[in-house]
């Protein structure tokens, strides 16, 4: 089931790439995607090309299959409600990420005991605002003028007290059964996070770095004939990292990861529901997220699904599992099997147009381009779904 997604030669219209000029660091536009300033369209289609079967070691077979999204839908959505992209995001998208079905799950066992997000007293907030502005004011006169406005806002019976009372009412409502949990959640999700319209690549998204093991021997050395070929060390390290992530995902989906804690007590684990099998979907005026629950075909929860590998602008889909030759049951890929798949990808991938760079645009531009990509064909929609629903 190893699949490669590549760019075909069929025409794609109305696909634009419009980095905002006010960004200090804009997305890089490859030469094969550059157009004149008078041209706002790119003519590519996101394509899919299945590969021949290969087997290494003999117990592992990664087979070709058609791009489809019929069998893995966001939890709570019926097939008739789901298209790529959704015409309207689910109003309850935040609730669609599942909790473990294990009744003895430890990961979220402390959620009910956590304190709700408090609202600081108005007077304390205004005093902190004054302190912050003191370092920003260009003159004493400017600072004194700001303090006068703050004092007027916070005077007894003033607008500040009225707004603070409304905020307390919102807190009480959201903390009730059926509420969002705390007063800030909706504003944070919809305005500060999902409503953020600049590129998320350098402004929001995080990345990981890993220290080299003590036994590493010249791990950064490249092939003398092709600098794009990683060393065997790199493939081994990549395979072991993927294997570790799959094992951790298995523990998390079974609720076996202990909740984070500090000296004062446990921390909220709610956001961990979005660590795997989920994706932020571009949309206007605000993005939304979808969580995908893989169909559990094996006896063990948390092993089915797939992960994505990017190589030379080509996207590969690799299943998490393989049939065990002795038991016939599905099991997670071993480190050796993952390394074999990575090795195949390294030596069987040629460069394609960097369609993935479109994701680095501002969110409104990417939302427009994403809608065009998905609407071109059912195959495109299936490929995008495979990317979105990947474990990672």
Residue 256 DSSP label: -
Residue with tokens 């009744």: 103
Residue 301: Cβ within 10 Å count: 15
Confidence at residue 298, expressed as pLDDT on a 0 to 100 scale? 54
**How many other CB atoms sit within 10 Å of the CB of residue 356?**
14
* Predicted local distance difference test score (pLDDT) of residue 83: 83
Distance CA 5, CA 315 (A): 5
Q: What is the pLDDT of residue 61?
A: 30
Task: For residue 217, name the pLDDT band (cuts at 50, 70, 90).
Answer: low
User: Which residues, at least 6 apart from 53, have a Cβ–Cβ distance to it below 8 Å?
Assistant: 61, 62, 63, 64
Closest Cα to residue 150, out of 133, 167, 164? 133
Using one digit for the tens of pLDDT, what is the confidence trace for 362-373? 999 999 999 999
Return the pLDDT at 378: 86
pLDDT in the model for residue 149: 97
Distance CA 249, CA 259 (A): 15
pLDDT computed for residue 112 by the predictor: 86
**Segments of 242-380 assigned E as strands:** 261-262, 265-266, 278-281, 288-291, 306-311, 314-319, 321-323, 330-332
Q: What are 311-341's pLDDT values in tens digits? A: 999 889 999 999 888 888 889 999 999 999 9
pLDDT mean over 265-290: 92
Q: Say if residue 39's pLDDT is above 90.
A: no
Token pair, residue 61, equals 């077979």
Which residues are 331's β-sheet partners? 322
In angstroms, rounded to a whole number, what is the distance separating the alpha carbons of residues 81 and 60?
A: 36
For the whole model, what pTM was predicted? 0.78
Coil, strand, or helix at residue 63? coil
Q: From CA 58, how far away is CA 45, in angstroms rounded?
A: 36
Token digits of residue 88? 């309207």
15: nearest Cα among 50, 40, 36, 34: 40
Q: Is the peptide bond before 285 cis (omega within 30 degrees of 0)?
A: yes
């Amino acid at each position: 089931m190893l699949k490669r997604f590549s760019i075909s030669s069929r025409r794609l219209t109305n696909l634009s790439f419009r980095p905002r000029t006010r960004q200090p660091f804009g997305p890089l536009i490859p030469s094969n995607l550059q157009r004149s300033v008078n041209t706002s369209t790119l003519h590519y289609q996101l394509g899919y090309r299945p590969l021949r079967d290969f087997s290494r070691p003999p117990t592992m077979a990664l087979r070709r299959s058609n791009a489809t999204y019929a069998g893995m839908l966001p939890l709570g959505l019926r097939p008739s409600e789901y298209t790529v992209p959704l015409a309207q995001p689910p109003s309850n998208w935040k609730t669609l990420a599942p909790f473990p079905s294990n009744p003895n799950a430890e990961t979220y066992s402390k959620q009910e005991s956590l304190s709700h997000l408090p609202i600081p007293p108005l007077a304390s907030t205004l005093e902190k605002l004054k302190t912050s502005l003191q370092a920003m004011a260009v003159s004493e006169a400017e600072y004194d003028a700001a303090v006068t406005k703050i004092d007027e806002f916070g005077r007894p019976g003033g607008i500040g007290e009225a707004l603070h009372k409304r905020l307390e009412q919102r807190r009480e409502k959201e903390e009730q059964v059926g509420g969002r949990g705390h007063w800030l959640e909706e504003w944070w999700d919809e305005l500060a996070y999902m409503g953020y319209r600049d590129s998320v690549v350098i402004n929001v998204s995080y990345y990981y770095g890993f220290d080299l093991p003590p036994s590493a021997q010249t791990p950064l050395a490249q092939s003398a004939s092709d600098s794009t070929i990683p060393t065997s060390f790199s493939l081994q390290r990549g395979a072991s990292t993927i294997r570790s992530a799959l094992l951790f995902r298995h523990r998390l989906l079974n609720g076996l990861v202990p909740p984070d804690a500090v000296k004062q007590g446990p921390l909220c684990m709610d956001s961990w529901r979005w660590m795997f099998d989920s994706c932020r979907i571009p949309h206007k005026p605000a993005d939304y997220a979808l969580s995908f629950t893989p169909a559990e075909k094996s006896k063990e929860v948390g092993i089915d699904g797939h992960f994505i590998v990017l190589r030379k602008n080509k996207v590969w889909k690799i299943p998490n599992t393989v049939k065990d030759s002795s038991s016939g049951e599905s099991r997670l890929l071993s480190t050796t099997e993952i390394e074999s798949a990575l090795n195949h990808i390294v030596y069987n991938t040629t460069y394609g147009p960097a369609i993935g760079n479109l994701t680095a645009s501002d969110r409104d531009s990417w939302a427009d381009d994403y809608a065009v990509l998905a609407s071109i064909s059912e195959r495109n929609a299936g490929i995008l779904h495979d990317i979105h629903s990947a474990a990672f």
